[in-house]
Structure 1
């Protein structure tokens, strides 16, 4: 009888120990089971709020980088033409135009621009602005205060003192054999302030510019150039 009681006591003690271990184990598992649905929703909402705050700043930064790089390309094209004119003792020009709303640039001898390509991807002397810096088409827009020079009679000829940022621009700037402005047909050599501008497009528009603008201005008879930005490019 005593042995049976001892045996029952031992079994009861073992059962209590096992029950305690199971209790601790189940609590540990429950504690490390993962996030609740409410916690996940809270995290998603917080990430969305942070993204909404950061997105406009990041978009503005990338647009500024694109416009700055495109303006550097415009300046480099003008400087290249000026160097070639001095080096070869011939007149050299830079012509600008838009083909299917894609800005194009061509460096060429003389004042008559090469034939207009039928589309922006057509290979030839005309190059999409920013092709070498991997700008995608229509990420920047091009404007000028020059008259169109399709027939070679309006090089260095201003259409206006200011740029219209609702209509895409075209025109030609020519340097003589000394790298200076050679004068204009139908105008005079003191008609300075020739402007080539690039801008980020306004939301929802393929031709109108936002207020983010950069430009190159040729403003001396010797072909001196300077850059400006935003409202200084009007």
Structure 2
């Protein structure tokens, strides 16, 4: 007599996904990635600009602290070199050192580390005195802002600022403002960075 019982199918033969299920999951992931990419880019731009602002503020404060410690002028210079924002904090000792920002000083470093290539100095919102064509902050021997070495007629202590933005894109702006001749630097963002 023949048995009419069905033999159990091993579990390994029925496990897995069908091709249709896999295609649906891949399409859903693609849609989610498309929706999330602009938000992720905005978050990354905000972070990069914030790092540049933080490092610029630290460099300005370093120069002012060194001025007060050494009782001699120091300055902080900013530039864009090979599409990277750089900063230099150095003492001024005329006539040995020029009053301008030196271009060949080995102390130049990337502002914000590796993010320096993704950030730019927003010239339209930057009004620091130019020395050798570079925005700079100079402190005299007692820690006050100084116009020495800047273009003739430059007045300091009137809310000078340097502003950073994502390179080649609109997005968040961050700045460092020196609101008075005493050089008390503070940070601001977006509309507060307008001159």
**C-alpha separation between the residues in 2 aligned to 1:201 and 1:70?**
12
Aligned residue number for residue 25 of structure 1: 9
Specify which of 122, 134, 142 is matched with residue 170 of structure 1.
134
**C-alpha separation between the residues in 2 aligned to 1:29 and 1:75?**
62
8 A contact 2:48–2:115 mirrored in 1? no
Q: CA RMSD in A?
A: 2.3
Specify which of 213, 224, 230 is matched with residue 173 of structure 2.
213
- Where in structure 2 are there 5+ consecutive unaligned residues? 93-98
Determine helix, strand or coil for the equivalent of 2:182.
coil
Task: Name the CA shift for 1:115/1:188 in 2 (closer, same or farther; >3 Å).
Answer: closer
Are residue 103 (structure 1) and residue 85 (structure 2) matched? yes
- Where in structure 1 are there 5+ consecutive unaligned residues? 1-11, 118-123, 151-168, 204-209
Shift of 1:189: 4.4
CA deviations 1:140-190 (Å, max 9, x no partner) are 11233235312xxxxxxxxxxxxxxxxxx8322100111111344522545
Specify which of 118, 143, 146 is matched with residue 182 of structure 1.
146
The TM-score, its normalising length taken from structure 1, stands at: 0.70
8 A contact 1:181–1:189 mirrored in 2? no
Aligned residue number for residue 112 of structure 1: 100
The TM-score, its normalising length taken from structure 2, stands at: 0.83
Give the structure, 1 or 2, with the largest relative contact order (CA under 8 Å, sep 6 or more).
2
Are residue 93 (structure 1) and residue 79 (structure 2) matched? no
Matched positions, count: 183
Aligned residue number for residue 83 of structure 1: 65
**C-alpha separation between the residues in 2 aligned to 1:96 and 1:176?**
18
Determine helix, strand or coil for the equivalent of 1:105.
strand
Shift of 1:114: 2.0
Decide which structure has the larger Cα Rg and report it: 1
